[in-house]
Chains A and B, each alone.
Chain A
């Protein structure tokens, strides 16, 4: 039971990561000055959305890029988190891949100037990588591999 407690904790931490990432995304979209970015024009009875070039487009660009970069890892993290909380031992590979994607984005896509939110994400990912690879967590994942009924190759950690 102590082992499962660890995996549940891992699941909760992963879900917290998703919540934080979604929170940052919401904040980024909320920071966009929609009144300037999106102007509704009524031309001959037809309503059209129009955007005006200017520095106010920058936050929108940042928000959209954030969504593109972090949508996939957020989904993976959510699945992994739920897997650990509900199914106890599933999701190790998903969580690891998601951490790798998050770190890759923060390190290589966000270069100078790196936005403020990249740093806490990097820090959290590092801690999660250490925790995912800790002896306790890997022992639980490993025990599933060792179990005769669930015996499978090394690639089958997650699904």
Chain B
């Protein structure tokens, strides 16, 4: 953190307020950004040491932001965590809520709206993913996970806190890094209820999300917003950020607009529904076989591929979940239904609850995948190390290679000067080495074919080879430098004329919402997606039990029928026909090979022989 420094508190707060985001939620969201203090006040602090039961260190009602950092009874492997108070009543209500019973009217008046899923995520993916999803749900029963009552407990707690004092607050931090002023908006939610309420991948108590605005500062001290980066799940790097003048980036005055996904609280740039994929690595051998088969099919046999197939990764298998960032719910921010309350600042000296508390901000479920464990605070990761977003926000957003607009020309001029200097040096070195090479060449000519000078001749030849290579490399480097120098000059000229590269040029795989067409499919398709996997399994079992005499053909027929229906619903009949044809062609090729094995071998050898003969004869004829 060598070039990192905090700004004056009043100036920092003014900057935070000037560019604070507008957040649009999805209708039916239960939890909104809140102050961390009342949450902590309501929680209890626990510790779990390896191989031991969890111990309550500070009961609910006695914990405050001030004493949170004390973290008593620390030892190797100990995990400190907060726990939302839940009662038996909450557990009962949690169970009832899962059985889709309406909540009592006596409940706290949060949330006010209800969520409608629309077309389910399963209708958007294929059988394999649905099967994997079913397995994922089964595995969840054996993994550590947040109990069903917790979400209800969190809802009741959040409702009470909001009834006592309704507020919408972010936690702000401002730092300078690499020539940027970074405005960090840390959003704290009491619960991540993505799995329980929105068919997502996980639940966890508490949620810390962040949004960053990157400002450049002119010599006169005027600031200009240049980039923004919204956190979404574990995404980092270039695809995460958008340029301030990007048409995709919605703004309300100087306030960037964020579409927060229901439950997961992932932040998105556009309104819509997103397919978020949970990736699992495939075994290396399997991935290699997949890569080989695809290359053979698409490159060797020049078979057709659409964009979606071409981009499928070889080495991982994914289960898709839908993130609902519809933006049709509550809107928080300047000029919206709800305004931001004054932010809680996290400036130097850092408050003790930020720097001193390294534990989790909610239940520690001991989930091996960590998806159900609560997150750590803004400064730390779950393993208690300092998080990249905290110590290197510029690198986190992939901005460390990007100068601000006020620096661009200066960086180019510096780089050009550097290249010019190196070019002059290279030129003089090349000249010197070329002269030396000429001298060595003369020496070699003079000693050639002289028996008593053979050794000297060989040494000189070796020197010539080495020196020639060096000169060649230096000339190549010089040529590259000249081209680069020229390109930099042209680029500087374009910048001076106000031209900029396309706003999306830095992104390789930008996340986009799924199309309207995909979102609005029929109810039959939705129903089919929900029952298909169970139906496939039941059919397979029935065939195995009652059709053993025609097992293979019955299985092939059943799978073909299911695949055909699926392809019809997903409007992929052409792709289905191609797949069937490819499978049949492979079987056909094997049948041919089995029947005409020796004929095929003889034909192949004859073919190769004729080819070689043809090539040789062609060469003779030239």
Contact = CB atoms under 8 A, between A and B. Distances in A.
Interface string B578-605: 1011101101110110011000000000
B581 A129 contact: yes
Contacts of A137: 304
Given A129-B585, A133-B578, A155-B574, A119 B304 contact: no
Contacts of B574: 92-93, 96, 154-155, 157
Contact of A103 (B302, B303, B568, B588): B588
B102 interface: no
A130 B301 contact: yes
B487 interface: no
Contact of A99 (B556, B575, B581, B595): B581
B573 A154 contact: yes
Interface string B279-320: 000000000000000000000011110000000000000000
A123 interface: yes
A126 B585 contact: yes
Given A153-B571, A154-B573, A100 B302 contact: no
Interface in B317-358: none
Nearest to B556: A108
A138 B556 CA distance: 27
A96 B581 contact: yes
B577 A100 contact: yes
Nearest to B557: A108
Interface string B147-169: 00000000000000000000000
B584 A103 contact: yes
A96 B577 CA distance: 7
A134 B587 contact: no
B304 A100 contact: no
B572 interface: yes
Interface residues of A, number: 32
B67 interface: no
B588 A134 contact: no
A100 B584 contact: yes
Contacts of A79: none
Contact of A135 (B304, B568, B587, B588): B304
Interface in A109-126: 114, 119, 122-123, 125-126
Given A122-B592, A133-B304, A134-B302, A155 B573 contact: yes
B553 interface: yes
Interface string B231-269: 000000000000000000000000000000000000000
Nearest to B553: A108
A63 interface: no
Contacts of A9: none
A16 interface: no
A114 B592 CA distance: 11
8 contacts: A93-B574, A107-B587, A126-B585, A126-B589, A134-B303, A134-B304, A135-B304, A154-B575
Interface of B: 301-304, 553, 556, 568, 571-575, 577-578, 580-582, 584-585, 587-589, 591-592, 595-596
Q: Which 8 A-B pairs give the minimum distances between C-beta atoms?
A: A138-B304, A103-B584, A122-B588, A155-B573, A129-B581, A96-B577, A126-B585, A129-B585
Given A93-B573, A103-B588, 17 more contacts: A93-B574, A100-B577, A100-B584, A103-B581, A103-B587, A107-B588, A122-B591, A125-B588, A126-B592, A129-B585, A130-B585, A132-B581, A134-B302, A134-B304, A136-B302, A137-B304, A157-B574
